[in-house]
Amino acid sequence: MNASKKIAVAGATGRLGRHVVDVLNEQGHEVVAFSRANGVDIETGVGLAEALAGVDVVIDASSTPSADRDVATAFFTAAARNLHEAGTQAGVERLVVVSIIGIDNSVSGYNAAKLAHEQELAKGPLPVQILRAAQFHELVEVMTQWGTQGEVAYLANMRTQLVAARTVAEKLVELAVHPAPASTVGPFPEIAGPRPETMAGAAAVLVARRGDAIRVQEVSDPANPDREQFEDGTLLPGPHATLAGPTFAEWVEATYPAVG
């Protein structure tokens, strides 16, 4: 039986955060769920001190919708500094933060911003546990929407071991409740799905399940400085990763009603 803790979830309305809140509630923890929707801004710090009063552990599942490296870096580095500052003042024990598998050499876009996030977290006074996750099953729909022009969905060539956000949430809660020695130097614990996939292959499964009248085309973008990492398997989990289902196909079947 776990001792119940008071755990704050930043980004509690997001694809990941909502599952973190569910898992914590199911386990009987006291949850402080926040995002800008209830007046707490992790980037500016507004409302953070009040939200963290009496909190033992913070799970940060917040994100910015921007994939621009500079915009996203500004968001994540400010969030890291604000969590350390407000968390220290509130007497928080630890931060548990989610990042992305395979980003060590990322130089562009969102992944480079997440690397800056990890580095900023390492500078603060509170112990931090970082969990690196693979791309979420839930991201496939977003990438498909972003890439659709007319009747074609253009998906970047990307090898990924897609994982359900719920599965990542369970691992984050485990780390929040049963801490490993906190470390901001790698290798970080990793969580990924049961098998390697491609983003385009997963998009094709999704489109077929929904009966969308679009064709998926995998494309390689020579202008992307991180293209090789997307394509050569760098984003796949390491041998120490926790692998857990459901597979993307199982998740799609459970999430989207069959057409016809």
61 in contact with ligand NAP (CB under 6 A):
yes
Residue 57 forms beta bridges with which residues? 7, 94
Q: Which of 130, 120, 53, 64 is nearest to 92 (CA)?
A: 53
Element (H, E) at 151: none
35 in contact with ligand NAP (CB under 6 A):
yes
CB of 249 to ligand NAP, least distance (A): 17
CA distance 161 to 180: 24
Q: Which of 135, 144, 184, 247 is in the footprint of ligand NAP by CB under 6 A?
A: 135
| Stretch of 11-19, 84-92, 195-203, 252-260 lying at the interface with ligand NAP (CB under 6 A) | 11-19
Residue 6 forms beta bridges with which residues? 30
Closest residue to ligand NAP in the complex (CB)? 14
87 in contact with ligand NAP (CB under 6 A):
no
CA distance 249 to 43: 36
CB neighbours of residue 258 within 10 Å: 8
72 in contact with ligand NAP (CB under 6 A):
no
58 in contact with ligand NAP (CB under 6 A):
no
CB of 59 to ligand NAP, least distance (A): 10
Q: What is the side-by-side strand order in the sheet with 148-149?
A: 148-149, 152-156, 215-219
144 in contact with ligand NAP (CB under 6 A):
no
- Residues within the interface to ligand NAP (CB under 6 A): 10-17, 35-37, 40-43, 61-65, 98, 100, 114, 133, 135-136, 139
